[in-house]
Structure 1
Amino acid sequence: MNRKENIIDLYYKYLEEEFNCRTSDELLGKKYIIGQQFGVGNFSRMKLEEGIEISKLKFNKADLYFDNRTYDDNILELGYCYSGCGKILSLPDNKEYIIKEEDIFIYKTINDVDYFKFTYNNCKTISINMNFNTIENVISPIWKDKSIEDWQNNINRIFKEDILIIKKATYQMKKIAEEIDFISTDNIMGLMKLKLKTIEFLCAIFEENSSGEKLNNIKLKEEEIVTKVQDIIKKNIGNVLTIKKIVSDLNISSYKLQEAFKNITGDTVYKYIKKAKIQKAEYLLKNTDMSILEVANEIGYENPSKFSSLFKEYNNITPLKYRKIKYE
């Protein structure tokens, strides 16, 4: 008996035909290379186990279209954008979604959308598809009803307002996604690593999105940590400030510090310190008559050439030229 095609099968069949793709079989699935008339890009589909598969997409530029009607597969798609941008337009509601670098996205296929239009620009993503109809079949009958109820409650909380959730990835999600990207998929060892990291990535997303109240509490704690660190940085702008010193003052782990800072500010602690120093230097150059050497010393740089290099890295001009601008 032939296996019934689901919405994912049909989507890949559409891509293969519509974009005149050349295909090649791989250890875990198939790779597709789009026809030259559509641009430069490729995507791959890899089956990890029954009900769970992963796909990688890398498009320089492409426009796709998909008819979403008549499909009732209970599939969740969870993914991460490494670079570039993807624009999704749903019809007939004419709602637009934008996926950008370091975003995660969560989508459920059971919805009222008729059509989707996709536009990719130098976009690289990874996505995991979970077919809950298939996974449901392996759950023990004793626990099945309770498991399904708990799952459905979590899904309802996640998709309370929309069918597609897009948000910035946490430090942990970004780290796992980057590890997945470097796993070789041409041998059995790579397959095992990929399965482990994929499950870890799924757990990180579900834990982050399953409880709104828990998320709010975590965010409040992270904001409190960041506020305290920003105060420490401000008071020590002229000193060499280390992560070791900060975590010691706050009595927290280095991991928790970096994760909180990345989630709230989008920067690492070191990058934020550099920015804070440059902002202080900009103020001094504009509002005082301090020499370049004095400004460098004020923000903790004894070597003015190192200060100038850092300043030019952020402003594309030297401190001296920056100062001259205010008199022009």
Structure 2
Amino acid sequence: MKVLESTFKPSFDRGFYEQLLSKLKVKNFSVSEEYVLPISNELAEGHIKVIPSGKYKWYTEINLKCFSNVKLPFLTKETDLIHFIYCCKGQGIHQMNGKETVIDEFQTAIIIDKESADLILKKGETVKIAIISVEKPKEMITSVVSEIFRIFEEKLENKKFAYYGSSNLKISDQIGKISSTEKNGVVKKLFVEGVIQLILAMEIQHHHKDISSISDVNGLLTLKEQKIIKDIAEEIQNNCDYPFSIKYLIEKTGLSAAKLQEGFKLLYSRTVTDYIKNVRIEKAENLLKTTDLNISEIVYAIGFTSRSYFSKIFKERYNCSPRYYQEKSRIYSLAFTA
């Protein structure tokens, strides 16, 4: 087993990453708001991204195509750490006390280990794994981080804890926002920190639901059916001008109308029709801000057939007409660039 000699710890100095990269035979890398470690050699190809989030939290995203079995050690002897893990693509294998447990696609896990624990990536796997690591504050003052450690206080005393949760596709959507955001500067930093906080909250909530055996609509849908819902939702996002109908979605997915509605309510807290309408309105809002298209052209571009209907639901959402919103956006844009 080949090992990437990396340590996930609260150290963001350039020297730490230069040392890691030298072991991975990577010569050039740059530091910005986030730390991206490009990897391309006989072990793997891809990158590891690290984003600090406040004083005691950081986000690690592993995007790798593995050419060999690779072991990533979690060395947490120096401090108390809780790792909240989510597998977005492929699978990882968590090794603790010699026992290997698979973390499948869309599955959550929470790991505490002050002695030794490894994340193993298998040869031939293309993986995307997100990890939010939380460090215990030296003084347990009133804070969100302190509250997290109080939740897992008993587990920390035992020095070892591993929870492998059920699947949760909602978390995948939030992680995708970190990679896809087009925001820059302080706006991006605030946005990403907010998404990381939300992901952390969703992981803890999911853990509570799992251990308390609360039955919900998730039990009515298989993981395969949830993946189908997620795929069709992405198709709607990417082609919002298409005249989607329930009949079309039933034929496309092979799911019943009831399953479609259950799936969209589970993953997006909306009915199918409301989800499509929301995607179109958000697309229109972006076009009003970023393009010179007139209102009629935007209505056509997002798949609506009635300008009056579009104006009505846009006003319900943004409390102003599309034209007014467009004019104000242009004024603010000119003022900002002046």
CA shift, 1:169, in A, is 3.2
How do 1:230-245 and structure 2 match up within 5 A? Answer: none
Paired residues of 1:88 and 1:119 also in contact (CA < 8 A): no
Q: 1:75 aligns with which of 51, 59, 81?
A: 81
SS state of the match for residue 217, structure 1? coil
Counterpart-to-counterpart distance in 1, 2:134 and 2:112: 10
2:43 pairs with 1:38: yes
2:215 pairs with 1:218: yes
Q: TM-score, normalised by structure 1?
A: 0.55
Task: Give the structure 1 partner of residue 93 of structure 2.
Answer: 87
Higher CA-based Rg = 1
Residue by residue over 1:203-224, the C-alpha shift from the partner in whole angstroms, topping out at 9 and shown as x without a partner, is 011112135564x2234x654x
Task: Give the structure 1 partner of residue 264 of structure 2.
Answer: 258
Task: Give the structure 2 partner of residue 124 of structure 1.
Answer: 128
CA shift, 1:195, in A, is 0.8
Task: Give the structure 1 partner of residue 170 of structure 2.
Answer: 172
CA shift, 1:56, in A, is 1.7
Counterpart-to-counterpart distance in 2, 1:50 and 1:25: 22
Q: 1:182 aligns with which of 159, 164, 180?
A: 180
Paired residues of 1:89 and 1:117 also in contact (CA < 8 A): yes
Counterpart-to-counterpart distance in 2, 1:100 and 1:65: 17
CA shift, 1:96, in A, is 0.7
Task: Give the structure 2 partner of residue 102 of structure 1.
Answer: 106
SS state of the match for residue 49, structure 1? coil
Task: Give the structure 1 partner of residue 52 of structure 2.
Answer: 47
2:195 pairs with 1:197: yes
Paired residues of 2:63 and 2:127 also in contact (CA < 8 A): yes
SS state of the match for residue 125, structure 1? strand
Counterpart-to-counterpart distance in 1, 2:168 and 2:29: 34
Counterpart-to-counterpart distance in 2, 1:201 and 1:194: 10
2:130 pairs with 1:133: no
Q: 2:23 aligns with which of 18, 39, 44?
A: 18
CA shift, 1:57, in A, is 1.4
Counterpart-to-counterpart distance in 1, 2:171 and 2:126: 21
Call closer, same or farther: CA 1:29–1:46 in 2, change over 3 Å.
same
Call closer, same or farther: CA 1:185–1:163 in 2, change over 3 Å.
farther
Counterpart-to-counterpart distance in 1, 2:182 and 2:267: 31
Amino acid at match of 2:175: A
Q: TM-score, normalised by structure 2?
A: 0.53
Call closer, same or farther: CA 1:180–1:60 in 2, change over 3 Å.
same
Amino acid at match of 1:84: G
How do 1:52-67 and structure 2 match up within 5 A? Answer: 52-61=57-66, 62-65=68-71
Task: Give the structure 2 partner of residue 236 of structure 1.
Answer: none
Amino acid at match of 2:32: L
Amino acid at match of 1:49: G
Amino-acid identity (%): 11
Number of matched pairs: 231
CA shift, 1:7, in A, is 3.6
Identify unmatched segments of 5+ residues in structure 2. Answer: 1-6, 226-245, 273-338
CA shift, 1:116, in A, is 3.0
Counterpart-to-counterpart distance in 2, 1:39 and 1:222: 35
Amino acid at match of 1:182: S
CA shift, 1:84, in A, is 2.1
Call closer, same or farther: CA 1:66–1:129 in 2, change over 3 Å.
same
Identify unmatched segments of 5+ residues in structure 1. Answer: 231-238, 248-252, 263-267, 270-328
Counterpart-to-counterpart distance in 2, 1:205 and 1:18: 32
Task: Give the structure 1 partner of residue 319 of structure 2.
Answer: none
Of the structure 1 ranges 199-208 and 125-134, higher mean CA displacement relative to structure 2 is found in 125-134
CA shift, 1:76, in A, is 1.4
Amino acid at match of 2:129: T
